[in-house]
Amino acid sequence: MPKNINPLVAITVYDQLCTFEFGCAFEVFGLSRPEMGPNWYRCATAAIEPGAIRGAGGLTVSSDGGLEILDRADTIVIPGWRGPDTQAPAPFLDALRKAHTRGARLVSICGGAFVLAQTGLLSGKRATTHWHHLERLATAYPDIDVEPHSLYVDEDDILTSAGSAAGLDLCIHVVRKDFGAKAANSVARRLVIAAHREGGQTQFIERPVAARSTTRLSALLDTIRGSLAQQWSVQRMADEACISVRSLQRHIREVTGSAPGEWLQNERLARARELLEETSLPVSVIATQIGLGSATNFRHHFRAGVGLPPAAYRSRFRVADIDKQSRTLGQMNSKAI
């Protein structure tokens, strides 16, 4: 759960605003969502500088205020930036540093990572940006651990996303951190997007995304998802699809962006997350159901893939616990009012 009831999300706006990235953030944090109960986000737009704020496509933007909004924001979103070589105004950078020092969370979408880099707050941390600018970020800021394959990177209080649409993945991830899987799934459904996309941005680099899988391959992937407890070697996958191993590897990579074994592991971990969030099944049972054998083996692979031990993940994201916490906070909020 977030630290504060009705946490304030400040979306920064600037001249030459990247309107798609801004729209991603506003769609998730700015729209009224009464179905989420009384504790949902508040949202405000904060102009980083005086003067006209013009967005891509000829739009003109009116903000809710200036940098003073950042002084009280729980989360600050930087939706893109004017360009990787464009210096951000010094007062804006100072406001971000000040906000981070008092505990605010900083989130960048696409080129917004270059603004965070200019603050110095990414020094020694992992970060990502659009694949087209990865090398430039790594060269200009060698003290940043640039991750080229991630759709987004979570360093707890500083989060960065890859290209524009990956901003939606990151914003949904923030909702999941704050309000749990059920809330994230609900917002994703409203947006008609996946609540969690597997794979990374490397699948989009310098080549078109595969339009669709063949009927045979699609059936194979569905079969595997429905029987994760079974042993699925690459040879067995190829035999099931009636194609060679080499063809299978090529087709699965084209469709998913991952090698067959990597895709299978991602599917197993995705199912494990669902079971940890939605059930009270013991870790040993989950390990068997997803095909990872022993509880020890499952814990090792889950922590490596997700970044948390299964018990810690369940404690943070289990739907029943999140609902209970939400009701408690709602009661506290009602009494306060």
Give bridge partners of residue 46 from the DSSP assignment: 12, 65
Q: Within this chain, do residues 129 and 237 fall inside the same structural domain, yes or no? A: no
Residue 76 host element (H or E)? strand 75-79
Task: Report the CATH number at residue 74.
Answer: 3.40.50.880
Whether 69 and 146 map to the same domain: the answer is yes
Average pLDDT over residues 66-85: 97
Mean pLDDT of 48-65: 92
User: Do residues 181 and 225 share a domain?
Assistant: no
Residue 213, in any domain of the structure: yes
Full-model pTM: 0.65
Domain identity same for 53 and 166 = yes
325 is a domain residue: no
Question: 279 with 169, same domain?
Answer: no
Cβ atoms < 10 Å from Cβ of 9? 25
Q: What pLDDT was estimated at residue 328?
A: 41
- As a whole number, mean pLDDT of residues 179-194 equals 83
Residue 244, domain CATH: 1.10.10.60
Asked if residue 332 belongs to a domain, the reply is no
* 150: pLDDT strictly greater than 70: yes
Residue 159 has pLDDT above 50, yes or no: yes
Residue 223 and residue 154 share a domain: no
CB-based contact 149:60 (threshold 8 Å)? no
How many C-beta atoms lie closer than 10 Å to residue 199's C-beta? Answer: 17
Distance CA 26, CA 32 (A): 10
Claim to verify: residue 65 and residue 152 sit in the same structural domain: yes
Q: Which tokens is 303 given? A: 């922590």
Clarify whether residues 102 and 19 are in a common domain: yes
Residues 141 and 283 in one domain: no
pLDDT of residue 61: 92
The whole-angstrom separation of Cα 306 and Cα 9 is: 26
Q: Stretch 321-327: mean pLDDT, rounded?
A: 45
266 occurs within a structural domain: yes
Taken in order 17, 23, 24, 29, the sign of the CA dihedral is positive
Alpha helices in the chain (DSSP H): 19-29, 90-101, 112-119, 134-140, 166-179, 181-191, 215-225, 234-241, 245-256, 260-278, 283-289, 295-306, 310-317, 319-336
For the chain, how many structural domains are there in total? 2
Does residue 336 lie in a domain region? no
Helix, strand, coil share (%) of the chain residues, nearest 5: 50, 10, 35
118/251 same-domain check: no
Same domain, yes or no, for 166 and 57? yes
Report pLDDT digits (tens) over 199-227.
455 434 443 333 344 567 888 888 999 99
Q: pLDDT value at position 306?
A: 82
Please, which pLDDT band fits residue 5 given cuts at 50, 70 and 90?
confident
* C-alpha to C-alpha distance for 79 and 93, rounded to whole angstroms: 15
- Stretch 28-34: mean pLDDT, rounded? 92
275, part of any domain: yes
Q: Are residues 136 and 233 in the same domain?
A: no
**Is residue 237 included in any domain, yes or no?**
yes
Task: State phi, psi for 8 to the nearest 5 degrees.
Answer: -90, 125
Q: Whole domain around residue 240: which residue ranges?
A: 208-319
Mean pLDDT along residues 105-134? 96
Query: What angle in degrees, to the nearest 10, is found between the helix axes of 310-317 and 319-336?
Result: 40
- The encoded tokens of residue 36 equal 């989420």
Q: Decide if pLDDT at 130 tops 60.
A: yes
Residue 326 in this model has a pLDDT that exceeds 80: no
Is 78 inside any structural domain? yes
